[in-house]
Amino acid sequence: MAVRSQTPSTKAAKITSRTTPPKHDVFQAIADPTRRKLLHLLSDQEMPVTVISNQFPMTRTAVSKHLRILAEAGLVKERKVGRETRFRLEPEPLLELKRWLAYYERYWENKLVSLKRFVELLLEGRSSVLPFYLCQNRHFCLVRFQMALYN
């Protein structure tokens, strides 16, 4: 009786590698300010790693590690041109971030509308808001902010 090999074919292995999720998600990738600067730098043009690394006060190896994290999240693509590796921005994964932010935008919008109304009342002289004071959690708060909005 012949025993079949359990290893997948090369074609099947390639398909599997394309469908595996990225090692880093978009949120993890953009959490670092250096990686955000890299994305901004690559937004206009494809650049070789040597040119990119000249823009940062760190080693080329450190820049390459940041680029690898961005690539694993699908935010940059690399291609070889001779002996040079060039990187370019892939903006599609940023749509996930845009969708997430759009959900919370409604809360910001409500706060901005309330702030606008408050400032208008303040300018009209209809608000007797005291200056800022330090809350228990050490953030500055407005005293009687809500009272001014509803009076």
Is residue 3 in a domain?
A: no
Residues 61, 39 share a domain? yes
Kindly report the three-state secondary structure assignment for every residue of 85-139: EEEEECCCCHHHHHHHHHHHHHHHHHHHHHHHHHHHHHHHCCCCCCCEEECCCCC
**Together in a domain, 126 and 110:** yes
Q: What per-residue confidence (pLDDT) applies to 131?
A: 47
Q: What is the pLDDT of residue 19?
A: 52
Residues 62 and 110 both lie in one domain:
no
The answer to whether the beta carbons of residues 58 and 74 sit under 8 Å apart is no
Domain final residue pick, 69, 92, 115: 92
Question: How far is CA 19 from each of CA 23, 53, 69, rounded to the nearest angstrom?
Answer: 12, 31, 18
Q: Domain span at residue 114? A: 95-150
Number of domains in the chain: 2
Q: Do both 21 and 87 map to the same domain? A: yes
CA distance 133 to 145: 12
| Residue 115, domain member (yes or no) | yes
Residue 141: other Cβ atoms inside 10 A: 11
Domain boundary among 53, 73, 92: 92
Q: Please tell me the distance from the alpha carbon of residue 83 to that of residue 50, in angstroms, as a whole number.
A: 11
Is pLDDT larger for residue 18 or for residue 127? Answer: 127
Task: Output the domain CATH number for residue 31.
Answer: 1.10.10.10
How do residues 40-65 score in pLDDT, each as one tens digit? Answer: 999 999 999 999 999 999 999 999 99
Q: Are 121 and 149 in contact (CB under 8 A)?
A: yes
Burial of residue 89, with CB atoms counted within 10 A of its CB: 0-12 exposed, 13-18 middle, 19 or more buried: buried
pTM of the model: 0.62
